[in-house]
Amino acid sequence: MFRHLMVSLDHPDDRRTLLPHLRRIARKRSARVTVMQMVSFLQTLAQMAGELSPRTHGDDESAEELVEALVGTLRAEGFSAEGFTDIGRSALMVASAADSINASLILMALRRQNVVQEMFRVSTVPVLAVPVGRRRPSPQVLVPIEDAGSLQVIPQAAAMSRLLRAGITFVAAEGHDLLPRAREPRG
């Protein structure tokens, strides 16, 4: 089910937050891992003039180093891993990248609430958002219930929940009458 994992980094500390979950999922599924980091377009523009100097170090170069370091760590641990950086820091960019590489799961830190909320609206790939700043994270698989089609992701959410030993939280955006149907046992 989760054969190709995409790790979306937004901050250098995301590596520490996501790596334990990534290892657990990738090992159980012998999954391929793609690490990506998005760089802010505006910061890239502002630093472009300075990057003509050999002494400066911009966000795009830092992002590449962060991605390369995590890919190196994963490869050293025996995982099949690759990575890339891209310009733009929106949920649509992350979802588009996941679609383009045929990812089966996106892992990201729950750092910028607005991006994660948008991910649940635009991504066709399941998203595991891991809270940051806790010593012992208590993962929850969040399942947005918006229409009858949303109920079809429940088997994937259940598989992820078992794998991570996590709870499932159903969130009804509209159509609150679907929430009781989502909680029904599936066979």
- Residues 6-15: tens digit of each pLDDT: 999 988 889 9
Region 169-177 average pLDDT: 64
Q: Domain check: are 111 and 185 in the same one?
A: no
Region 125-152 average pLDDT: 75
Q: How many domains does one find in the chain?
A: 2
pLDDT digits over 76-104, tens only? 999 999 999 887 778 888 999 999 999 99
**What is the overall mean pLDDT for the chain?**
79
Structure tokens at 38: 């998005």
How far apart CA 138 and CA 4 sit, in angstroms, is: 23
Q: Domain check: are 8 and 85 in the same one?
A: yes
Q: Domain check: are 114 and 69 in the same one?
A: yes
Domain final residue pick, 105, 130, 155 = 130
3-state secondary structure (DSSP) of residue 34: strand
* CATH code, domain with 107: 3.40.50.620
Range of the domain at 28: 4-130
Q: How far is CA 2 from CA 44, 61, 69, 75, 129, in A?
A: 33, 30, 23, 18, 15
* Residue that wins the pLDDT comparison between 99 and 149: 99
pLDDT, residue 36, reads 94
Structure tokens at 18: 């996501």
Lowest mean pLDDT among 21-25, 45-49, 85-89: 45-49
* Residue that wins the pLDDT comparison between 27 and 39: 27
Q: Domain check: are 87 and 146 in the same one?
A: no
pLDDT, residue 81, reads 96
Q: Domain check: are 143 and 125 in the same one?
A: no
* Res. 49: pLDDT tops 70: no
Q: Domain check: are 93 and 143 in the same one?
A: no
Q: Domain check: are 121 and 161 in the same one?
A: no
CB atoms within 10 A of CB 106: 22
Q: Domain check: are 93 and 13 in the same one?
A: yes
Lowest mean pLDDT among 14-18, 69-73, 127-131, 141-145: 141-145
Q: Domain check: are 28 and 70 in the same one?
A: yes
